[in-house]
Amino acid sequence: VCIHRVRSCSSIRFIKSKYVCVFDKSALKFSHQQRLFRASAVSCGQIVQFKLSDIGEGITEVTVKEWYIKEGDSVSQFDSICEVQSDKASVTITSRYDGVIRKLHYSIDEIAFVGKPLVDIEIDASKGVAPEEDVVETPPMSHEEHTHQEIKGHKTLATPAVRRLAMENNIKLSEVVGTGKDNRILKEDILNYLAKQTGAILPPSPKAEIVPPLRKTETVPAAPKDKAHKIPVPVSRPVAFSGKDKTEPVTGFQKAMVKTMSAALKIPHFGYCDEIDLTQLVQLREELKPLAEIRGVKLSFMPFFIKAASLGLLQYPILNASLDENCQNVTYKASHNIGVAMDTEQGLIVPNVKNVQVCSVFDIAVELNRLQSLGSAGQLGTSDLTGGTFTLSNIGTIGGTYAKPVILPPEVAIGALGKIQVLPRFNGKGEVFKAQIMNVSWSADHRIIDGATMARFSNLWKSYLENPASMLLDLK
Amino acid sequence: MVLHSLKNCLWLPCVLRTPKACFRSTASGGLIIQSVSNDIYQNLAVEDWIHDHMDLEKRQVLFLWRNSPAVVIGRHQNPWQECNLRLLRQKNIKLARRRSGGGTVYHDLGNINLTFFTTRKKYERMENLKLVVKALKALRPQLDVHVTDRFDILLDRQYKISGTAAKLGRTSAYHHCTLLCNADKFVLSSVLKSPYKGLKSNATPSTPASVKNLFEEDPSLTPEMLLDAIAKEYAMQHQIDHHITLINPSDETLLPGINNKTKELQTWEWVYGKTPKFSISTCLNMAYKDSVLDVKVNMDVKHGRIEVCNIDLPEQWLPPGLYSKLVKSLTGSKFCPNETTMLVTTLLRVCPQDDELHSRWSLLCENMIMLM
């Protein structure tokens, strides 16, 4: 009776009520047995009240916890509509129709009743409800992880993954010969079909992801054993081509970067670069590494760079100063709180080692270890991230030689360290020897620092590192 | 024994290594699988995968799994309300949000997890729990265990040894439950106690209960024994071979798409972002110099992000420009200590370098971060 009524469109025009319940009650009772209910009756843009179906276990009411759609959204059959909860069970309610959501009968945290309307959907005039058979052929892919694909068809039998594989390769299931039970189409059948077409065996999952092996453990202070040899291979992340631009708000770490860098723009930067021969330091570190390990500490090159910088700052304290907002006063900071730029999963952070002027190289190594582990766990505290007076950035662990680092206000100088390369150099006797060369790029605030000061500081720093024994003379 | 393709298992009995007994009866088919991983996210991903991709019409599935220390909250719960997030971070205990409803539980290797997969029509929690009790009684007849009407399993009529949750989809459903064998009760009680005050939310609350380990009742019991006993009972009831198939949750060929599911379960957006809207109304007691300041704080958090933020500071305690910068910075950012630390320390870089100001700022921000 129901079907007959709808077929003659003219009769529908006479139905004046706003919500046309197209299906009579007896049809609704079987609504959950979708195979039996041939839903080809609906058409002509009518609004259908989609009722909450039986949850099981005699449950009559549930709480609406989340809506996945809102009024005005289009939905396809099997798209998730909402999440309801009843007594420790979370239920995903999916749409039975293709159409447009016209009304949500409940808001979040309201109680919804089984058998009562949940949403009103305006059925697509052109589409109607796809009968079971057609849906089986090409299951609609919702964007959600949960694709409800357990559709049992009667014509072409195939599991959801096989269907997806077929769909991804634009294969009509009806053209594939099934070799499974009851002529079921198996994955092998799809692959064979494709192989015949392309003359090659395709990988089982066309969407194979490349898992980037480069973890962000290449943090700045943790210089690897052998900087010259362990250069991380840049991994290209898989580019999922969707063809659409994506706009996101700037939040969190990026927001912090925007603030810092905008402030840094106000500082007139000048750069000064040089190369350092670390041959002796490399050897020294090799000797000291096992000693540090016995004490339970990883010793990288950074503690030496940091200590040498502090010794240099003792001679050139203006590099450890701060200029006030109006450029009226310069404050010479007593503590050398040397910041170390760290690359974490979320972005750039710069914790600092406090009072380097009274720390030994070993003390600095211990502190760096602590900051690194907190940094990678995302657990650095405010005190670790504030109070810095001078910064070093070991970008060389990732790569590069020369850089143009940006000063982090309220500081006035910063140094970027490139990677250590083994290069040929001439010694005093004019002979070529193998040298471990690293480049340093300094940037300084030209309002209070002049080129000569930066150069002299750099030379001093360089001399400490090229001849580590000379550090002993000036260590306090 | 590792399956080469879980899917194929269903459709190609002749090729498979699973015993032909699996296919003896189509009416009560069953499959018992156990995860080789102890990673909560990987195991939850397996549940998702089976729920989305396996046909449970002819064969039901029992999934056995255990996890290294983790706190698992229900789909619609609020982690700030349910557990001590600070302690979790300190102890490196993972936090996961499952897709099923229900309350918060603590997992470690002394706890076993059972998931019963059926079609939506065959969803029957009581039957499953009765199966578990039957298995326990078969193993140790003297155990006083029974199922309550809240779907808990109680030991000695008093102590909860198992909690239940379920997920229903369009055509399939699963019911999972925990079972305490020899979990660390001390850690359990300390992590499941929330220190956060002033939270107002409609998130599903957990019902605290006294728990006990089966091990305390009978020290000869191990998690392996319990898993085995339950598998045996399941096999008997489904008339299949008592055979447990091992699966590796990172095997993309066996479970295509599983790694994406695992990744999604680990995202901040899922774990924290799915928290129903809540508000915080509390008072910070800040000890500053010789006095104690009472600072009222009101925040609204939606999708895990701060929507509204009000801090009732004494006038001029902070320069007004700085206060509004702080509020503007916090609004829209994640309700997360790490992100907040980042933002507040950055703001400090661009404000006047005044020690007094800096110490006030640090005091306020540290207290704010403690709320997260």
The model's pLDDT over A425-449, given as tens digits with 9 standing for 90+, comes to 998 999 999 999 999 999 999 999 9
pLDDT of res. A126: 61
Buried-state track B56-70, b at ≥16 Cβ within 10 A, e below 16: bbebbbbbbbbbebb
Quote the longest CA-to-CA distance of chain A.
107
Closest Cβ–Cβ partner in B11, B102, B348 for A88: B102
Query: How confident is the prediction for chain B on average, in pLDDT?
Result: 88
- A283 with A430, same domain: the answer is yes
What pLDDT, in 10s, does the model give residues B3-42? 454 544 443 333 333 433 333 333 458 899 999 999 999 9
Above 80 in pLDDT, residue A256? yes
Give the dihedral sign, CA B54/B56/B60/B63. Answer: positive
Domain ranges in chain B are 31-272, 278-371
- Whether A184 has its CB under 8 Å from any CB of chain B: the answer is yes
- A174 with A309, same domain: the answer is no
Could you tell me the fold of the domain covering B278-371?
A: Enolase-like; domain 1 (3.30.390)
- A164 with A297, same domain: the answer is no
State the catalytic residue, choosing from A105, A148, A269, A446.
A446
pLDDT of res. A230: 60
Residue B197 burial (CB count, 10 A): 10
Amino acid at residue number A39: A
Q: Quick check: is A20 in a domain?
A: no
What pLDDT, in 10s, does the model give residues A49-107? 888 888 777 788 899 999 998 888 888 888 899 999 988 889 999 888 888 888 889 99
- A351 with A418, same domain: the answer is yes
- Whether A183 has its CB under 8 Å from any CB of chain B: the answer is no
Q: Which residue has the tokens 């992100």?
A: B339
Q: Identify from A165, A382, A408 which residue to disrupt to test chain B contact, counting B C-beta atoms within 10 A and taking the largest count.
A: A382
Beta bridge partners of A441: A273, A416
Closest Cβ–Cβ partner in A108, A146, A386 for B348: A386
Above 70 in pLDDT, residue A12? no
pLDDT of res. B6: 54
Closest Cβ–Cβ partner in B53, B102, B349 for A409: B349
Q: Which residues of A touch B253 (CB under 8 A)?
A: 204-205
Q: Quick check: is A260 in a domain?
A: no
- A469 with A357, same domain: the answer is yes
- Whether A205 has its CB under 8 Å from any CB of chain B: the answer is yes
Residue of A nearest to B150 (CA): A87
Above 70 in pLDDT, residue A128? no
- A367 with A429, same domain: the answer is yes
Confidence of residue A213 (pLDDT cuts 50, 70, 90): very low
Q: Which residue has the tokens 């190594």?
A: A365
Whether residue A4 lies in the annotated active site:
no
Inter-chain touch B101–A56, beta carbons under 8 Å: no
Confidence of residue A39 (pLDDT cuts 50, 70, 90): very low
- Whether B267 has its CB under 8 Å from any CB of chain A: the answer is no
Buried-state track B329-347, b at ≥16 Cβ within 10 A, e below 16: bbeebbbbbbbbbbbbbbb
Confidence of residue A334 (pLDDT cuts 50, 70, 90): very high
- A80 with A174, same domain: the answer is no
What ipTM goes with this model?
A: 0.82
Q: Quick check: is A166 in a domain?
A: yes
Query: How confident is the prediction for chain A on average, in pLDDT?
Result: 77
Inter-chain touch B252–A205, beta carbons under 8 Å: yes
pLDDT of res. A195: 53
Whether residue A384 lies in the annotated active site:
no
Q: Quick check: is A401 in a domain?
A: yes
Number of domains into which chain A is organized: 3
Tell me the CATH number at A388.
3.30.559.10
- Whether B148 has its CB under 8 Å from any CB of chain A: the answer is no
Q: Quick check: is A12 in a domain?
A: no
Above 60 in pLDDT, residue B226? yes
Q: Quick check: is A220 in a domain?
A: no
Q: In CATH, what is the architecture of B31-272?
A: 2-Layer Sandwich (3.30)
Above 90 in pLDDT, residue A130? no
Say what the pTM is: 0.74
pLDDT of res. B321: 85
pLDDT of res. A5: 44
Closest Cβ–Cβ partner in B166, B332, B362 for A251: B332
| A295: containing domain | 268-473
Amino acid at residue number B372: M
Q: Provide DSSP, B92-128.
A: T-EEEE-SS-S--EEE-TTEEEEEEEEESTT--HHHH
User: How far is A223 from A286, CA to CA, in rounded Å?
Assistant: 13
Q: Quick check: is A141 in a domain?
A: no
Above 70 in pLDDT, residue A147? no
Inter-chain touch B12–A186, beta carbons under 8 Å: yes
Residue of B nearest to A255 (CA): B343
Q: What is the mean pLDDT of residues A165-169?
A: 71
